[in-house]
Structure 1
Amino acid sequence: MDSKSGWFDAMGFYRALDGQRQARELNWKQVAAQSGVTASTLTRMAQGKRPDVDGLAALVAWSGLNADDYIRSVDARPEAEPLAKISTYLRSDRNLSQEAATAIDEMVKAAYRQMRARK
C-alpha cells in the first residue's frame, strides 16, 4: 500500500459482487447485461483492477451493495459536513429534477453562509 490516506477495496467489492451474482444464480455475462457494465469491466475487476466511477455506480445500483462499505483509510474517517449531507439528500430526491435540486442547494448554502456570518 502506498502513502494514500484512503482507498477503495476493489477486491473486497468484487467478492461481495460475486456473492450477489451467485445468490441470484447468474453468470458474469448476465451480470454485465443487467447492470449495464461491460464484461471487460468485470474481467478487469476479477484481476484486481478498479472499475471506473460510472461502472462502480452501475454495479452498486444493480447489486444493492453500499460502496462506502469498501472505503478503507489509515485514520478514522471524519463525519461529512452538514452542507455536504444536504446536497446529497437533495440530489437523491426523486421528486426533484436536477435543476430544482441545484437551485435549492444553492439557496440553502447562501442562507447558511449568511447565518453563519452572524454568529
Structure 2
Amino acid sequence: MSNPRFDAEGFYSALDSVRQARRLTWKQIAAQAGVAASTLTRMGQGKRPDIDGLAALASWSKLDVSSFYRPTETSARNAEPLAEITALLRADKNLSGEGAIALENMLKSAYEHLRRRDIDGDET
C-alpha cells in the first residue's frame, strides 16, 4: 500500500462542524487555537495547514488527526463509512437517543440516494 494522504478538506469541514456546535466565528477559533486567522482562510480555500497549525487546531478541536488520513488504494478501507457515522452519532453525548436515531435515518437515506445516483450515473 502506498502512503496515505491527509484529507485537509475533510479536516476543515469537521472543524467547521465544531465551530458551528460551539457557536464561534473563525476569528474566535484562530484566537483560541493560537493560529493566524490567515491559516483558517487558506484552509477554507483548499490549502493544507502547516504542521504547527494542524497540531494547534487538532488540539483545540479535539479532532483525531489520524481519522483524516486517507489510503490511496480503495481496498485499504476497513469499516463502512455509514457504520462509522452511526457509531459516532450514537456516542455523541450532545444528542438524545431519539435525536441520534433521527439523524442516523436522515443520513442513511441521503447516503443511499447519493450512492445509487453515483453508481447509476444519474445526476438527479
Q: TM-score range by the shorter chain?
A: 0.5 to 0.7
Deviation at 1:5, TM superposition (A): 3.2
Runs of 4+ in 1 over 4 A off after TM superposition: none
2:23 corresponds in structure 1 to 25
Q: Which of 34, 51, 54 pairs up with 1:53?
A: 51
- Quick check: which has more Rg, 1 or 2? 1
How far apart are the structure 1 equivalents of 2:22 and 2:49? 21
Query: TM-score, length-normalised on structure 1?
Result: 0.59
TM-score by length of 2: 0.57
Question: Please, which runs of 5 or more residues in structure 2 have no aligned partner?
Answer: 78-124
The gaps in structure 1 that reach 5 residues or longer are 78-119
Q: Report matched runs for 1:81-100 at 5 Å.
A: none
Counterpart residue number, 1:41: 39
Matched residue count: 74
SS of the aligned residue for 2:35 comes to coil
* In structure 2, distance between residues paired with 1:26 and 1:10: 20
AA in 1 matched with 2:64: N
In structure 2, distance between residues paired with 1:55 and 1:67: 12
Deviation, 1:6, is 1.6
Q: Percent identity?
A: 64
